[in-house]
Amino acid sequence: MQPIAGEGEDKPQTEKIRFERQLRWQISSCLPGFVKEFGQSLLMKDFYYLNGQPFKINRIHYETVTVNQPACVVQMLSPITVHNTFVSDTGHKTTHYFSPCDPAFVHLINQNLSRKYFACYGKPIPGKIRITPLHVSCRDRVFIRFKGLMIEAWNGLYLLEGDPKALTFACAVGLGRRNSSGFGLPQRITVSAGTKRMPRKFVPVLNLHNGRHLSDIGLSHLMLKRELKREVTPGRPHCCTIEASIKIGERTGKGGNQHTL
């Protein structure tokens, strides 16, 4: 998962978001070697271009994603999308999106987590997780155009309950579908008594690479294959927070070491 966020202004009329100098890019994965190697690869360039805008990496911070309790509260940094595609008798495909109040929402998320856990560790996930919306309203329902599709997704505050290993995995790989495209990244938070809603300090940006997956923007497929061949031990997922500064209105010299995302 790779949502990018920062203090900025959303402009729905032009479908653009204006950031003010600083932004954060969070990468999360159940494969710690992949996260660290990707972070190191970013330091090999002097600057990058994001949608034609130059920026440079200021700092990279790594942390281990671990949930030690059978419950945790998460705020969605990027919205969850849960859907099923049905094929009619005539061969026409219809995609149905589910809301957090639909029982199929949790069921499909657990199905998705179970497949990802088995693909990563080669054994069944240690139990299903329960997902309770703590503060989700119509304001949290968003529609995002991605690869020519209009995707329905949900932000909000949720309570996750289950085996700590399953919760750790869910917080690392994401909830719902299209995680590799930036959807469904949760952030664990501490909620005090009387808290009704977490303030929205950051604007999530999806479709970061114009619809391309992370492995298509200069990240070596060999690195991914090499990491997948290693023995993976449950309980040690990592996430990486990349802080960058935007060089607004600046253009670098011809001799700079650059790369386009």
Domain 4-260, CATH: 3.30.70.1900
pLDDT of residue 4: 53
Domain boundaries, the chain: 4-260
Closest listed residue to residue 261, CA positions, set 222, 215, 225 = 215
pLDDT of residue 50: 72
Per-residue pLDDT of the chain in tens (261 residues, 90 and over written 9): 445 555 556 656 666 666 666 777 777 877 777 778 887 887 787 777 777 777 777 778 787 778 889 999 999 989 999 999 888 788 888 889 999 999 999 999 999 999 999 998 899 999 999 999 999 999 999 998 888 889 999 999 999 999 999 999 999 899 999 988 889 999 888 755 444 444 343 333 333 333 333 333 333 333 333 333 433 444 455 455 555 554 444 444 444 454 444
Overall size of the chain counted in residues: 261
pLDDT of residue 183: 92
Q: How far is the C-alpha of 34 from the C-alpha of 228, rounded, in Å?
A: 9
**Burial category of 143 from C-beta neighbours within 10 Å (exposed 0-12, middle 13-18, buried 19 and up):** exposed
The per-residue pLDDT for range 189-233, each reduced to its tens digit, is: 875 544 444 434 333 333 333 333 333 333 333 333 333 343 344
pLDDT of residue 164: 94
194: left (phi over 0), alpha (psi -120 to 50) or beta: left
Q: How far is the C-alpha of 87 from the C-alpha of 90, rounded, in Å?
A: 8
- The three-state secondary structure class of 151 is strand
Q: Facing residues of 258 across strands?
A: 47
Classify the C-alpha dihedral 199-202-208-214 as positive or negative: negative
**Burial category of 183 from C-beta neighbours within 10 Å (exposed 0-12, middle 13-18, buried 19 and up):** buried
The per-residue pLDDT for range 119-145, each reduced to its tens digit, is: 988 999 999 999 999 999 999 999 988
pLDDT of residue 254: 44
pLDDT of residue 54: 78
What is the DSSP code string of 51-91?
TTEEEEEEEEEEEE----SSEEEEEESS-B--EEEEE-TTS
Amino acid at position 55, single letter? F
